[in-house]
Chains A and B, each alone.
Chain A
Amino acid sequence: MNSLHYLYAAYIATWAIHGMYLWILARKAGQLKKEMGKLKKAVSTQHSTLS
C-alpha cells in the first residue's frame, strides 16, 4: 500500500469518528425533542380532564 493511502485513511478515519459522534448527538436531540413534545401533550390532556 502506498504511504499516501495511509495518510488518506487516517484523515478519513478522523472525520468518520467525529461525524459519527455528531450524528449520534443529532439523533439523541431528535429523540429528546419528540419525548418532550409527547410529555407536553400528555400534561395538557391531564389538565383538561382535571378541569
Chain B
Amino acid sequence: MKRGFSILAIVTALLLSFGLYAALVIAPTERTMGDVQRIFYYHVPSAWTAFLLFIINFVASLLYLIRKNIKADILAQVSAEVGVVFCTVVLVTGPIWARPVWGIWWTWDLRLTLTLLLWLIYVSYLVLRRFSTSGQTPVLAAVLAVFGAIDVPLVYFSIWFFRTQHPSPVIGGGGSLDPGMGRVLLINWAAFLCLAWLVCWTRYRLEVFKREVDEAHALQLLPEVSR
C-alpha cells in the first residue's frame, strides 16, 4: 500500500512536470489568442477532473443511502472536497483567461453561472458536513449530493444545447482542436487525474484517522460517564 502510494506520487510529479513543460513549450501557439490560450491546458483538465469527482460523490452518496456503507460515506466526503478544489481552479483560471480575450473578467453567461452554482452546491455540502451536529448528517449530505449532481450534466452540456459566450466544446462538440494541442491537453488531464487520485487517497486516510481519534475520544469519556 505504502509502495503503491510512493509510485503514484512519483508518476504524478513526473506527469505534472512534463504537462507543464508541454503546455508552455511544446504546444503550438494559438493564432488569434496567442499565449494566453495556454491557460486552457490547466482550465479544461481541472474542469473534467472536478466533474469526475462530483460523479464519484454522487455514486458514493447513492451507495451510502442504499447500503449505509461507511466507506462510501467517507469516499463521498473526500471526492466532494477535492472536487471543490478543482472547481475553484476552474473558476479562478476562467476569468484570468476571459479578461484579455473577452475584455471582461466575468459575465452571467449560462455556462459560467451554472459552474458557480455547482461550486456553491458542493461548498454548502461541505459546510453541512463540517458544522451539522445531527446524527443524520451523512444522510442529509448524501441527499444533497444526489440532487446537487444534477448540475454536473447541466454545466457540461450547456455549451452543446444553448448559445453561450463560452467557447464550444473542443472534443466531440463540433469544435476543432489541433492534434498537437489535443495531446498536450490529454497529458495534462492524465496529470491532474493522478493528482486528484493522490490527494483523495491522502484525504481518505486522514478522514479514517480522524474518525479513529473521535472514537478514541468517545471511549475515553465512557469511564468518566459511568463513574
Contact = CB atoms under 8 A, between A and B. Distances in A.
Contact of A6 (B20, B39, B199, B213): B39
Interface string B203-221: 1001001101100110010
A6 B96 CA distance: 6
B35 A4 contact: yes
A17 B210 contact: no
Contacts of A29: 206, 209
Contact of A39 (B20, B100, B195, B213): B213
B216 A36 contact: yes
Interface residues of A, number: 24
Contacts of A1: 100
Interface in A1-51: 1, 3-4, 6-7, 9-11, 13-14, 17-18, 21-22, 25, 28-29, 32, 35-36, 39, 42-43, 46
A36 B203 CA distance: 17
A25 B217 contact: no
What interface size band does chain B fall in?
20 to 34
A1 to B, nearest CB: 7
Interface stretch (B61-69, B87-95, B133-141): B87-95
B93 A14 contact: yes
Given A3-B36, A7-B35, A29-B206, A13 B92 contact: yes
Contacts of A17: 85, 88-89, 92
Contact of A25 (B42, B100, B202): B202
Contact of A35 (B36, B39, B93, B213): B213
Interface secondary structure of B, over-half rule: helix
B196 to A, nearest CB: 10
27 contacts: A3-B34, A3-B35, A6-B36, A6-B97, A6-B99, A6-B100, A7-B38, A9-B96, A10-B39, A10-B42, A10-B92, A10-B93, A11-B20, A11-B39, A11-B42, A13-B96, A17-B89, A18-B85, A25-B199, A25-B203, A29-B206, A32-B206, A32-B210, A35-B217, A39-B217, A43-B220, A46-B223
Interface of B: 20, 33-36, 38-39, 42-43, 46, 85, 88-89, 92-93, 96-97, 99-100, 195, 199, 202-203, 206, 209-210, 212-213, 216-217, 220, 223
